[in-house]
Amino acid sequence: MKVKFDHIEGFGKVSDLDFIYSAPYGMLEPGESCSQALKEGWIPWGDAWFNLRSVRIDLQHYQPAQTTLRLRKKVSVGKGNFAQNLEQYEALYAAYCQHHGFARNITWEQFGDCEVLEYHTDHLVGISLYKVYDDQFVAMQFIWDYAEPKLSLGNVAQLSECEEAILRGCTHVYLLGGYEHCCRYKAGFKGFEFWTGAEWNQNIDLYYKLVARDEQIQISLA
């Protein structure tokens, strides 16, 4: 992996203190595989790769909860078509952002090469966008309208993604980053591991401490 730094989006303060931030990112070297990059803690995003406190599920140890298996019976799961159904996906995303209070900052072009799982009741209620690199499965984005909270669609989606990964012969499902309280739930899946920057670690207590510490960080760019 060839590591580069973005000093355009980066920033610094050197008059009162020595603080410089520049986001590092990686570009695959010739002959380097995407699956190997994933195993070494790199996550694809757009045209680049980023090394972060990522989370993955070792499918050899994955075991779904019985409650999730029961909930899945209330939802039909099938393959989606990104190009044909983009308008519906955009409507889902608007509801998703409204529920969470998120800014609507997705650039849909970055997901154009993703495969899609759709979740239906009597209508489309959610989607999973994912990529498969050889024997590695990356869950890129889950979107749900949250109209029926009792569906616990996030858990149903995780089960469906793992089942799809197993069907495709994958060994791991990557869940992107593990930061702040909103990512605490990722440690609840059997087969949980997180990337320390040097190795994959299964210490759930340590992970909980790290995401709790994230909540204490205050950032102001004013």
Domains of the chain listed by start with CATH number = 53-214 (3.40.630.30)
d(CA 116, CA 5): 32
pLDDT for residue 221: 60
Q: What is the pLDDT of residue 25?
A: 93
CA-wise closest residue to 36 among 140, 168, 134, 175: 134
Give just the sign of the alpha carbon dihedral 63, 131, 145, 181: positive
Q: Determine the pLDDT at residue 82.
A: 84
Residue 79: per-residue pLDDT: 95
Q: Which residues of the chain have pLDDT under 50?
A: none
Strand pairing of 192-195 and 200-201? Answer: antiparallel
pLDDT for res 27: 95
Q: Say how many Å lie between the first and final Cα of the chain, rounded.
A: 34
